[in-house]
Structure 1
Amino acid sequence: MATPTNLSAAFTLTPPPLADWLVILPVALMIGLGAVLMMVRKSVRLHGAIAIAGLAALVLIDAGLLWRVATHGPVTMVMGRWLPPFGIAFTADLFGAAMALAAAVVALAAAIFALRDIDASGRRYGFYPFLMLLMAGVSGAFLTGDIFNLYVWFEVLLISSFGLLILGSQPEQIDGALKYAVLNLIATTLFLIAVGYLYAIFGTLNMADIARKAVALRDTGPLTTLTGLFILAFAMKAAAFPVNFWLPASYHTPRIVVSALFGGLLTKVGIYALMRVTVMLFPVEREALSIVIVVIAILTMMVGALGALAQSDIRKLIGYLVIAGIGNMLSGVAIGTPGAVSGAILYALHSMVTMTALYLVAGEIGRLGGGWSLVHLGGLFRRAPSFAGVSFVLFLAAAGLPPISGLWPKVVLLKASLDIGAWWLAAAILVSAFLITLALARVVLFAYWRPSPREIEPMTAAADWRIALPLAALTALTIFFGLFPETLLGLSQDAATGLADPTAYIRSVFPQGEGQ
């Protein structure tokens, strides 16, 4: 009689707790809903309701996951019952879970706004299925514990973003999509090369396994070169200087709700990946490259601020605000202390909500004013005072002025800069914020305050609930976290501590030290 094979050395034989399934539910839900929407592709009237219900469920799932991680520490599930590092791991820590929840909130707001912004033709050509696929990629990128699968989820969200970008097939959309595609494909190729290089050095792709092996290989492996490759690839995806020109050339071309999704989500996935690799996996190499990163950070925030000041098209102006925000986040990565990293995380969460809301504001400006050029806009305050009030709050948030949420990330980053004596970095952050304030004040003066320089067809203000609800919800979030920042500050500090000291993350993947 054959001896039973002992599988305990290769497989996990005990079922995971039910709450741990929250780690993979976001991805499974979004892929499943995308398939459902394709099956009912002829009933486009149902798409909006199905997508909104699914995204509302995603918000609840991600909120549950964040609570689970905050109370019990990082959570890991490995596919196919294979023990890590052989099985593909999904691992959620505070950083990933918080980013996933913010992304879900942003996507839900955009899906509601799309009921008004996307016509029947856009729905027929797949807006909502593309949105589900995009969120599957974004959620997977935030929750994966395997660096090759981070690449895979980047590909998933890029494929869906290409579809969203050309929805409508206007000439300027095709032109913007070409620039977007070429630069992102180059970045993806660099990312894949870096992953191959990493596997050749470590023999593993599991992030927890890499984090614990990096110490032993630091003196023998070319880890600084590897880290530099990752920084270049992720900087391109995050639209950092000098590879940021694709963003203002493409983000203004699609429907405004698509621009809102891109501005709120895509660059943040790039900055998330950069922080995960440089802060958690290769902190010593990040320190060696900190001068390079800080120069990139300063140039990125200054290019973004000056670009915003020079723009007359509001959509392009917001694109440059996205770029300036990436510079601020990179400054936290460059400093590298837990306080600075917490400022970068806080800025990322704030930017996801604020940039999405600003693009939605731009959509309403275009509807009320008949276009996006400051040359032709005017009189919006008189025509829509409530909408003007919401816009003003979001402008304060984007500029980092009190008492809205944008104040606190900059305060944390300024303190972190001054704590290490980098007064010149603190000065760059302040100058960038001042220039952004001027750019947004220019929008208020031209588009809202002065009388309209041309006769336009009368339009109603944002009384439509499909416009008012997402704008009001996102604006309320910026106000709430501006007035009561303690919870978000504590969350970002704990998330930064978890990145700087990944012991709990590693223990979640290797609870008994397997594979050592």
Structure 2
Amino acid sequence: MAAAEKTVDLAAAMVIAPVPIGHWLIVLPVVLCLGVGAALLMLRERTTLQACLAIAGLALLVVIDGLLLHKVAQEGPLTMAMGRWLPPFGIAFTVDIFGAAMALAAAIAALAGSVYALSDISPSERHYGFFPFLLFLMAGVSGAFLTGDLFNLYVWFEVLLISSFGLLILGSSRQQIDGALKYAVLNLIGTTLFLIAIGCLYALFGTLNMADIAERARSGGKPLMTLSALFLLAFAMKAAAFPVNFWLPASYHTPRIVISALFAGLLTKVGVYALMRVMVMLLPMGREEFGGLVALVAIATMIVGALGALAEVDIRRMLGYIVICGIGNMLAGVALGSVEGLGGAIFYALHSMVLMTALYLAAGEAGRIGGSHSLNGLSGLWTANGAFAALSLVLFLAASGLPPFSGFWPKVMLVKAALAEGAWWLAGVILLTGFLTTIVFGRVFLLAYWRPAMMPMRVQPVTWRAGLPLTLLAALVVGFGLFPERLAALSIRAAAGLDDPSAYMRSVFPEGGAK
């Protein structure tokens, strides 16, 4: 009878109090994407309704991510425990400014891509799953940005990779299958290295909660260099950093242009996000030890990307190398390790997510109007559509890092941070590759847009399905260029949270540590 009357205090292991209503914003992006994606699978025969529901769902995702970023900016990092089990016993979703800002930028890029897809994706390709794959891809991307558990990060990587495989082969052309093979092999190797590193880390610490790992790693006494090297290699492959970057220009030009745009805007940035989260917040000693190596990788990545873009005549392959060059700029901020350098890398990542999506969509329209994606066959686009040519020029100047557009400010932050650390050579490479990128886009504009048409061309309007997302993304590029203060301040706050994760850890363990 006494045993039956005995009560068990679950307060040490479980969430007893009701979850505040605002905290549901933390997990809602993933729930929304999975729910809408499942509904789209049931509507595969009704492709028009499917498209409308997908666009509405992604528009709602933008609103939710915007509210989440606002809440985190006002209140600090937030945590929601899954299944009511307190961390580190259960899986937690923990969001800070860095994760919330990346999730919002990803949602904006996906919404723009979904609208453009109305003109780029055929009914048969919708029937075979473009919009469900897109929503599941966004579930993986959102989960990766919002999770507070390292194994959960691996799971969301798998979700987005599986979805990306489906999108990459949609259409089943020989070129797509070849590109998908290269994409799959390298990414699966990177995923395997990531999983091995997670297993070794769990053997060392007995936990996979990020806040718990960050606290235990700072106490020292653990052989972390091998783990850091494994994580660095795995995430470098995901982010397409030198020398494991060759899969990107070999695969990103093969699918439909809207799919290439989404990949360029989202997937490599998830790799950069994971690298910064793990190497800066969780394993700072590893980042300090490998800082010189990361700097060399950043330099090589920038140079290879810029020179590769100079050598290409196919605009789609050229943009693949521009993506790689941008990854090098972000890695430069990681190599510096200062709050200013990390802030520049975060600003660059947010800018790049919007800009690279827009550049690929513009390349798709250029190919549609001019009948080719090769600089040898493109000409007279300014005559065919002056407004589209002017919008393209804005995007080209932003990608070159020229004022007054969004690409200028993160490079200023990175160069300033490099000079403050005495890394003048790193600042020099950032400026040099920016100059080379200017030459790349100057060449594109002169040949494809300004050169007189090789044959008579009539004026061709841009449909609203293409013009609306392009105008939206270009407006963000111009807006962040003219008024960069808030985004720069947000990036610095995000970087400070990575450098000093005490607020992140207090969100997960309010009483000061793991039980």
Q: TM-score when scaled to structure 1?
A: 0.98
Q: CA deviation at 1:325?
A: 0.2
Q: CA deviation at 1:452?
A: 2.3
CA distance in 1, matches of 2:198, 2:487: 33
Q: CA deviation at 1:334?
A: 0.2
Q: CA deviation at 1:454?
A: 4.3
Corresponding residue number in structure 2 for 1:479: 478
Moved more, 6-15 or 54-63: 6-15
Uncovered stretches (5+) of structure 2, i.e. residues with no partner: none
Corresponding residue number in structure 1 for 2:417: 416
CA distance in 1, matches of 2:392, 2:140: 30
Q: Which amino acid aligns with 1:52?
A: I
CA distance in 2, matches of 1:357, 1:409: 18
C-alpha distance after superposition, 1:15-41 (max 9, x if no partner): 111000000000000000010001111
CA distance in 2, matches of 1:348, 1:201: 32
Q: Which amino acid aligns with 2:460?
A: T
Q: CA deviation at 1:282?
A: 1.2
Corresponding residue number in structure 2 for 1:239: 240
Does residue 180 in structure 1 map to residue 183 in structure 2?
A: yes
Corresponding residue number in structure 1 for 2:495: 496
Q: Which amino acid aligns with 2:464?
A: W
Corresponding residue number in structure 2 for 1:123: 126
CA distance in 2, matches of 1:391, 1:318: 13
Corresponding residue number in structure 2 for 1:149: 152
Moved over 3 A (4+): none
Q: CA deviation at 1:514?
A: 4.8
Q: Which amino acid aligns with 1:266?
A: L
- Pairs within 5 Å for 1:44-123: 44-123=47-126
C-alpha distance after superposition, 1:354-396 (max 9, x if no partner): 0000000000011000010000110001111000000000001
Q: Which amino acid aligns with 1:397?
A: A
CA distance in 2, matches of 1:365, 1:139: 31
The correspondence for 2:167, drawn from 158, 164, 177, is 164
Please give the secondary structure, in 1, of the residue aligned with 2:93.
strand
Corresponding residue number in structure 2 for 1:343: 344
Aligned 8 A contact 2:370 2:378 in 1: yes
Corresponding residue number in structure 2 for 1:294: 295
Q: Which amino acid aligns with 2:309?
A: A
Aligned 8 A contact 2:389 2:449 in 1: yes
CA distance in 1, matches of 2:438, 2:461: 25
Does residue 137 in structure 1 map to residue 140 in structure 2?
A: yes
Aligned 8 A contact 2:385 2:459 in 1: no
Change (3 A) 1:286 1:111: same
Q: CA deviation at 1:347?
A: 0.2
The correspondence for 1:30, drawn from 27, 30, 33, is 33
CA distance in 2, matches of 1:513, 1:503: 9
Does residue 396 in structure 1 map to residue 394 in structure 2?
A: no
Q: Which amino acid aligns with 2:492?
A: Q
Aligned 8 A contact 1:360 1:471 in 2: yes
Corresponding residue number in structure 1 for 2:508: 509
Please give the secondary structure, in 2, of the residue aligned with 1:16.
coil
Corresponding residue number in structure 1 for 2:432: 431
Q: Which amino acid aligns with 1:371?
A: S
CA distance in 1, matches of 2:183, 2:218: 37
Please give the secondary structure, in 1, of the residue aligned with 2:461.
coil
Aligned 8 A contact 2:80 2:94 in 1: yes
Does residue 320 in structure 1 map to residue 321 in structure 2?
A: yes
CA distance in 2, matches of 1:329, 1:35: 35
Q: Which amino acid aligns with 2:478?
A: I
Q: CA deviation at 1:515?
A: 2.4
Corresponding residue number in structure 2 for 1:470: 469
Q: Which amino acid aligns with 2:449?
A: Y
Does residue 460 in structure 1 map to residue 443 in structure 2?
A: no
Corresponding residue number in structure 2 for 1:377: 378
Please give the secondary structure, in 2, of the residue aligned with 1:24.
helix
Aligned 8 A contact 1:367 1:459 in 2: no
RMSD, matched Cα: 0.9
Q: Which amino acid aligns with 1:143?
A: L
CA distance in 2, matches of 1:448, 1:159: 38
Moved more, 283-292 or 351-360: 283-292
Corresponding residue number in structure 1 for 2:279: 278
Q: CA deviation at 1:455?
A: 5.7
Aligned 8 A contact 1:368 1:459 in 2: no
Q: Which amino acid aligns with 2:45?
A: K
CA distance in 2, matches of 1:116, 1:70: 37
Corresponding residue number in structure 1 for 2:451: 450
CA distance in 2, matches of 1:40, 1:101: 27
Q: Which amino acid aligns with 1:460?
A: Q
Uncovered stretches (5+) of structure 1, i.e. residues with no partner: none
Moved more, 273-282 or 40-49: 40-49
Corresponding residue number in structure 1 for 2:367: 366
